[in-house]
Structure 1
Amino acid sequence: MERCESKELDAEIRNLIEKSSTFTSHEDPEAVAQESPNHQRASCSLKTRSETNSRGRLGCTWADVSEMEAPADLLESKHVLLTKKKTVLANSLEQQILSLERQRRELLEVNKQWDHQFRAMKQLYEEQLAEMKTKLDMSERRVSELEEERHRHPPEKERLQVLGRDRLSQEMKETKVLSEVLHDMKEENKLLKQKNASMIRKQEHYECEISRLNKALKDVLQKKHQSVPGTPSEGVDKNSLEDMRTQLEVLQQQVQIYEEDFRKERSDRERLNEEKEALQKINERLQSQLNKLNSQIKTCVKGKEKLEKQLQQQTKDLPVQSERPSYPPPLFLSPCVNYGNCGLVLHYQDPRVHPMSRRAHEQQQHSPDYQWYVPDQFPPDVQHKANDSSSEKGAHR
């Protein structure tokens, strides 16, 4: 009867018993070998409920018949084996239940950890999303403020145009003045070279004349010394001696005059050389300044073109508004950096002025025409200096 009751157990318990039996068979093969006959009898209890019921009835009838036929010792041994098997199964089931409980606790702990991590990540992502939303709102507000500021204040393009125009005109004026001074210095240097050449020719002429006079004086003195020691001859006249003395005095005075002229010309030549060196230094300094200004003009023009491109790009990127008038593009002319009659004319149009009023204003007032040219007259300071030098030379002469 106990076997019949064990055959009618729950399906889950039967599954656990089957698992425990396989587990014990792997652990103790000798016990499994000893209990194999009994296990064959108990295997019928691991089927479905219908099969277990039918086989249970058959097993019960077979057990009753065997009990009636078998002796009492055999029944007792079977009973002991059944009890041992039940205890082993109960122990294995308890161990499985404990392991399942442990696994359940571990799974619960893992689920708790996953839940905690999920909540933390969710909170972190929510905070990041809120922060990005605040940043987006701040950037949108900043963009709107910048748009309002751009519409409120005058365009930056006009201010840059005015600055570039003023700087370019100032540098062009300075370059013009320096080019005029440089041309004046070149002309003065040319005149000084011509004067120096004439002075050198005069010096050579004076040296030849002095050598000739010295030679004539030497001949006269030799003749005089030759006539003094001896007794004068009867053919020598006293008048000729007087004439020779007067001629000697005249020659000595001429030699003194030529000497003074020579010294004066030498001092003038030295002074002119000093002035020429000073003018050459001034010329070099002005040439370096002119080169610097030309390079500055080129860099300024390049920067202005770059700013113009940037402003055009910005105006292309900005959205076009219908209520704001469309400004015409400014007119920029590339500078012509050379000497001669090459003019640089810069006309800037004011975008805020109506075309008709702008045309009338242009008729009344034209833009200045800055040209690179070499004037024929000196500047006032150079002209004054040239007049002073010419007056000094006239006084010396």
Structure 2
Amino acid sequence: IPCGPLLNKNKKHEEKLVMFTNQSEDSERCESMELDNKILSLIERNTPDPRGVSLGATSSHRSPCSVKPPGKTASVAHFLQSTARMSGAESSTDHAECAQSSRRKNLNSLEQKIRCLEKQRKELLEVNQQWDQQFRSMKELYERKVAELKSKLDSAERFLGTLEKERLQSPRESFPPHCRTSEPLRRAEKEKESLNGELHELKIENNLLKEKNALMNHKKQHYECEIKRLNKALQDALKVDCSSSPEDRLGKSEMECSREEMRTEMEVLKQQVQIYEEDFKKERSDRERLKQEKEELQQIIQTSQSQLNRLNSQV
């Protein structure tokens, strides 16, 4: 069997195998170089730097291996898609952070408004308490004055009654003129002066009560306007909070308690205003009653004056 042709064929096959392996290594080297060039060009687009690798250099590196297999181009496209996804995710996270910061700013502004309303409400409650104390003290003083005037009026009536009894019981001729006129008339004049002074004080007190009543009515109107303004501001703040998006309600659970407390305190404030209205009505009725008592006192003073004049004429 001739062995020469077989050996030649084996040598040719070995040479072809070596050439094929060399070509595959060269193609893989070119593909890796082109992948590196793609990555460099992507980096240049994202972060441009004059000191970086120039486009000419990348093109010069790219020219020796212009032919590339389709598998490597698909891997490069997949890499570009992944980088695009990463950039989109970063932009979405930035947008979410901006929205969260704006929501926090809105919540902070609402909390500041609620604190301001709470402060104004506390100041209004303090003023109402002071006003209530002043009103009650004035009412007690007025009641004491009326009780004192009643007691003095009763004593004057009793004194006039005793004078009238003495005049009727004792005969006119049994006493000399200076004994009949000295002591009773002196006491009657003193009582008359005291009654006139009390009447003058009562008139002054009545005028003061009228002025204070007008001032309290003015304060009441001012407080009612202030309460309406605070209610409107609180309703506006609640409307703004309710109209916000669900993402804006991060601290809603913490703010609900304070809002409920504010609502209850506003209800208490309204009840206090109703109580003040009832007090004003009661004060008006007391003032009318005082006016009637003053008229009765004037009538009693007139009767006592007529009795004193009659006693003087008899003396």
Q: Which has the larger helix fraction?
A: 2
TM-score (norm 2): 0.43
Work out which of the two has the higher radius of gyration on C-alpha atoms and give 1 or 2.
1
Taking structure 1 as the reference length, what is the TM-score of the superposition? 0.36
